[in-house]
Structure 1
Amino acid sequence: MNAVRSVLLRLTSLLVAWQTLASPAAADRPNVLVLLSDDQGWGDLSLSGNADLATPHVDSLAADGASFDRFYVCPVCSPTRAEFLTGRHHARSGVYATSTGGERLNLDETTIADLFRAAGYRTAAFGKWHNGAQHPYHPNARGFDEFFGFCSGHLGDYFDAMQEHNGRIVRGAGYCADDYTNHAITFIEQSVAQQQPFFVYVPYNTPHSPMQAPGRFWRRFADRQMTMPPDGDAKRQSKADETRCAYAMCENLDWNVGRLLNRLDAQGVAEDTIVVWFHDNGPAGVRYNDGMKGKKGQTDEGGVRSPLLVRWPGHIAPRTEVAHIASARDLLPTLCELAGVPAATRHPVDGLSLAPLLLGDTADWPDRVLINQWQDKISARSQQYRLDHQGKLYDMAADPGQTRPVNDAQPEALARLSASARAHRDAFMANYARDDRPFVVGDPHAPATLLPAADSRGHGAIRRSSRHPNSSYFTHWASPDDRITFNVEVATAGVYRVGLYYAAQEPGAKCELSFRDARLPFEITAAHDPPLRGAEHDRVPRIESYTKRFKQAALGEIELAQGPGELSLRALEIPGAEAMEFCMLTLERRE
């Protein structure tokens, strides 16, 4: 598998290098800064008419550049990220879920970072990756020279969180969005000092729950009366404090955007940098969303419509407004064209370059159909109409709230969008969620392999700390009949040092890690029973589990043969109420 992948990467690099010979030198190309927020709806900006919050720095991107009125993403996070990275519909790329491996981007996909790095850019990602945790799915294996953030699931606490830096576990510093911004600023400064163009991707993880905002942002909203009417079923309206905290988190994001824009100015590269802002799906709660139907997880307009703001001084005219529909799949070909980077992808992209629209050329732009999908719900959108997943057609110009179906009045539009939705379903749904990909251990390019609880299966009475696998750990490990397993493929045979992140009320559990015929017996020699973390920072009650400061322990070494198999963790003797609470295994090949 890795040999094939290496050949594919080499061929892509050679093709890009060949095409680059006829392109401007890397030093003459614009920098690119892409900013993505998590669970921030269309209505969560003052730019969108929301009077309950202020986002002047994000809004300034529209004033100084272009804004798209009808830009579409996916109903949830991992698919949107995949579509941005590849320029292709997520149904093509192996992404069909947000956890337990379904968020991984197929290895034969070319990413936008692959292309920019091959063209001479320094590339980096800071924040929530969510498209594969282990090499070769890891961001460092998908074109990014530098990565700081988290790959799997989500975070249980946004302050001083467990993070990764290029495949190594580290402790974050302060509030996560501020931390990611700090790393992006440092990388930009280093790139400017080295006189090398940069491609920086900052996928923030806010205002996604848990609802935590730094004190100075929360205090602006703690007692504020909300004035904007929420959109959606009144019985399911979010609590007022949830909306207040979401807005506080949005204002924190805006502050961080301001920091980045100010740094571009200070470094003298603002005129030479394309800045992109968009969201990954609709709002997670029921709050103001400009009268649209739908929220996160839904394929109606409000669940998939996002702002798209693009600034490039001297090239994109200020206050350019684009009415044409567009999607996250358009960003790869757009940025490649603007930067003069060859879009030498292994597979044809689904997106179109938006460069003509950004630069003022709207002649002959096609009236295309965009497909929005989540699981088995498929919706089709043309410039004027949306066909929802139940087959109801709406005139979005006359009825943006999707209240009056026009199936009988618009048979031609109904037939066209129905045919597009049916073609998508026929092409992808039969195998949409079929997945036999193992988690890879020992990729030769990885410093270590991290196997979190989110990517494992619990057997017996073992339970996850939350019904959501993301950011969960395993508890109630009370019987020797219980076990935890990972479906893995060992890429490189050898001796591996094994580490464990755990909590235990008392020591003494005798355990075993096994793979095929290999065994590593070990004992939990130290109790570690830290308190739950997160509640002290929550502004509203959460649905996710709280987290802990898990202890790291070195378990010893195990010799692993190359190939697929089940990596199994068992407790052979349990002297107390439970063996341990399991967070993560780490495996590092001994050279």
Structure 2
Amino acid sequence: MIKIIPFLVLGLTTLHAAEPKSTKPNIILVMTDDQGYAPVGAHGHPWIRTPHLDKMHAESIRFDRFMMGSTCAPSRAGIMTGVHSIKNGVTHTIYERERVNLKAITLPQVLKPAGYTSGYFGKWHLGDEDPYQPENRGFDEVFIHGAGGIGQAYPGSCADVPGNTYFNPVIKHNGKFVKTKGYCTDVFFKATLGWIQSVKDSDQPFFAYLSTNAPHSPFVAPPKYQKYFEDLGFHPRSAGFYGMIEHIDDCMGQMFKQLEEWGIMDNTIVIFTSDNGTTTSGNGLKGKAGRPQVKLGTDKDGKAMMSYNAGMKGLKGTVEEGGVRVPFFVRWNGKIKEGRTVEKLVTYLDILPTLADIAGAELPTSQAFEGRSLKPLLLENDPDWKDRFHFQHVTRWNRGEDPDKFKWKNYSVRNQRFRLVGDALYDMRNDPAQNKDVASEHPEVVSEMKKAYEKFWDEARPLMINDGVPLAKEKPFHVDYKAQKASSGIPDWKAPTLKWEESYTGGPTGAEKPEKKGRKKRK
């Protein structure tokens, strides 16, 4: 189990003799953006084609009650620190409220003394100002876009390279901007594998965190994937969303093939997940309740292709089950029993302590980690597992508003059996679709959950350090990109030499429109 020792936060120089690499597994964490639980064939989706994720599902332990936050930056903050987002100051996705507390100890900083080198690829969204960037939070290799989406820009510091697009995007690579060629998801997978190729034969185990921006809006897939769904009658928006997911699946297949050719799968843990529930727009479902189903297109046999949310209530931006439940597949060849489904309630706060436990890393006592190691559930058939409460809050109050006014709004408490949403209680074991409020039948459960939540809020309230701070006057990605372009130019990215089937090799399609500054729709 995890050992707890004192830890010096500022220096992060606690030294331990590294164990031989063979005793420490490599770790690859792949997280998609806004995909959610339902759009995976193995989760009962009636028509989406995800053969590689389905194969991974069959070869993995599947945590079928895995809970994230309700939106992007909060989930990422909890993964990165093992502490709930609002205890890290993350209460939004913009307005400087997406920035993780600089005093927080991060996952790569925990793994570093255990001998790990770490790389981050794709979407960061935990602060665009220099001190918050991943290279200053423990990562050795960094390959990211800015803001919460490619091309986004909002009031304050949160912004990507101006005018950036999903095709041939400009990326910040270890502090310098480079111009890539191809579709963004291909680029992020290739960058991840290129870095793995460079470190796989060293004496250090590696941790690679690949966070795709797809299938986040704007919903534009590589042309052949987009065309497939549009030809079936899908609206271009939905065609882009589902096309991006099928393309991610193809990239997962190519990644596994490359890892197997390198012969490192037996000593590599691969995890697949998503950052929150399914998006409210691209998937075709109307309204945050996720009901009713709608017709998206017609298959080759003339059968209607209906939207699907695995029977759950809620989508991204809610604290209903469908807003926070996501896939969580863990494949570890020869170490875990394939094809096993775990029904225990687990959460994104468990990722850091789990990886630390597996890596033999020691958790510093200076941070109050809230998660729990999943190692017993991974390696044992039926370990003791004490039930607990998991707290969720959408936290999307407007800038300048008093958070305490929202204490009892848009919150939820979940344990193994029940989900409390406001004053409504749902028996998730017997009513997973949340059709019947059973609060009157279990008043003692409601009371216990509300008391626990109030204690959690009171602990978290003083830690919401980003609420009320002034907005930055400059956008670092804009300023630094323009300065580099004027001084030395933006060089082409030197893509790694890999066996990779590109989804797109042309110029920008013109089909996408970056999210503009000040738009109300946020990520």
- Class of the TM-score when normalised by the shorter of the 2 chains: 0.7 to 0.9
1:543-587 Cα deviation digits (max 9, x unpaired):
9339xxxxxxxxxxxxxxxxxxxxxxxxxxxxxxxxxxxxxxxxx
| Aligned residue type for 2:101 | N
Which residue does the alignment assign to 1:276?
A: 271
2:372 maps to which of 316, 327, 352: 352
Equivalent of 2:133 in 110, 130, 138: 138
Verify the 8 A CA contact 1:177 1:204 in the aligned structure 2: yes
| Aligned pairs, number | 441
CA deviation after TM superposition for structure 1 residue 46, in Å: 0.6
Instruction: Confirm or deny that 1:368 pairs with 2:388.
Output: yes
Aligned match of 1:380: 413
| Contact 2:168–2:508 (CA under 8 A) maintained in structure 1 | no
Corresponding residue for 2:457?
Answer: 425
1:451 pairs with 465, 473, 476, which one?
476
Is 1:394 aligned with 2:426?
yes
Q: Residue 147 of structure 1 contacts residue 165 of structure 1 at CA under 8 Å; is this kept in 2?
A: yes
> What displacement does 1:272 show?
0.3
Q: Aligned partners of 1:304 and 1:284: how far apart in 2?
A: 11
Q: Which has the higher contact order (CA 8 A, sep 6+)?
A: 2
For structure 1, which segment, 356-365 or 272-281, has the greater mean C-alpha deviation from structure 2 after superposition? 356-365
The letter of the residue matching 1:67 is: R
Counterpart-to-counterpart distance in 1, 2:482 and 2:471: 16
The 1-side partners of 2:471 and 2:13 are apart by 26
Measured after TM superposition, the shift of residue 501 of structure 1 is: 7.5
1:323 corresponds, among 343, 346, 349, to: 343
Separation in structure 2 between the aligned mates of residue 69 and residue 498 of structure 1, nearest angstrom: 45
Residue in 2 that maps onto 1:545? 516
2:161 corresponds in structure 1 to none
Q: CA shift at 1:317, angstroms? A: 0.5
* Equivalent AA in structure 2 for residue 172 of structure 1: T
Structure 1 outlier segments of 4+, above 3 Å:
23-27, 429-441
Corresponding residue SS for 2:64: strand
Task: Find the counterpart in structure 1 of residue 301 from structure 2.
Answer: none
Preserved CA contact (<8 Å) 2:88 2:463:
no
Bigger-Rg structure (1/2): 1
Q: Residues of 2 paired with 1:346 and 1:129: CA distance?
A: 25
**What residue is the counterpart of 2:25 in the other structure?**
30
Whole-angstrom CA distance in 2 between matches of 1:76 and 1:69? 19
Give yes or no for the alignment of 1:171 onto 2:171: no
Equivalent in the alignment of 2:483: 499
Aligned counterpart in structure 2 of residue 60 of structure 1, from 55, 64, 89: 55
Query: Residue 68 of structure 1 contacts residue 307 of structure 1 at CA under 8 Å; is this kept in 2?
Result: yes
1:415 is matched with 447
Q: Distance in 1 between matches of 2:45 and 2:144?
A: 30
1:158 equivalent in alignment to 2:166: yes
Distance of 1:240 and 1:401 partners within structure 2: 27
Distance (Å, rounded) in 2 between the aligned partners of 1:324 and 1:359: 14
Q: Secondary structure at the match of 2:74?
A: helix
Instruction: Compute the TM-score of the two structures, normalised by the length of structure 2.
Output: 0.79
Partner of 2:256 in structure 1? 261
Which AA in structure 2 matches 1:71? F
Instruction: Quote how far apart the aligned CAs of 1:179 are.
Output: 0.1
2:211 is the counterpart of 1:186: no
Question: Would you tell me which structure has more strand in proportion to its own residues?
Answer: 1
Aligned to 2:13: 13
1:46/1:202 CA distance change after superposition, 3 Å: same
Distance 1:107 1:439 in 2: 17
Contiguous gaps of at least 5 residues in structure 1: 1-5, 226-238, 442-448, 456-495, 503-532, 547-591
Q: For 2:13, what is the secondary structure of its paired residue?
A: helix
CA RMSD of aligned residues (A): 2.8
Mark the CA change 1:166 to 1:86 in structure 2 (over 3 Å): closer, same or farther. same
Deviation at 1:180, TM superposition (A): 0.5
Q: Deviations over 1:159-192 (max 9, x none)?
A: 1112101111221221111000011111111112
**TM-score, normalised by the number of residues in structure 1:** 0.70
Which amino acid in the other structure matches residue 57 of structure 1? H
Question: For the residues of structure 2 that align with 1:165 and 1:452, how far apart are their CA atoms?
Answer: 12
Does structure 1 retain, via aligned residues, the 8 Å contact 2:135–2:141?
yes
On the 8 A contact 2:219/2:238 being kept in 1, the answer is: no
Q: How much identity, in percent, do the aligned residues show? A: 34
Q: Which amino acid aligns with 2:126?
A: N
Q: Give the counterpart letter for 2:211 in structure 1.
A: P
Give 1:509's aligned residue.
Answer: none
Letter in 2 for 1:277: F
Residue 530 of structure 1 is matched in structure 2 by none
Q: Which amino acid aligns with 2:242?
A: Y
Give 1:450 shift: 6.4
Paired residue for 2:74?
Answer: 79
Query: Aligned letter for 1:9?
Result: L
Gap runs ≥5 in structure 2: 1-6, 152-164, 286-306, 396-405, 487-506, 518-523
- Following superposition, the deviation at residue 330 of structure 1 comes to 0.2
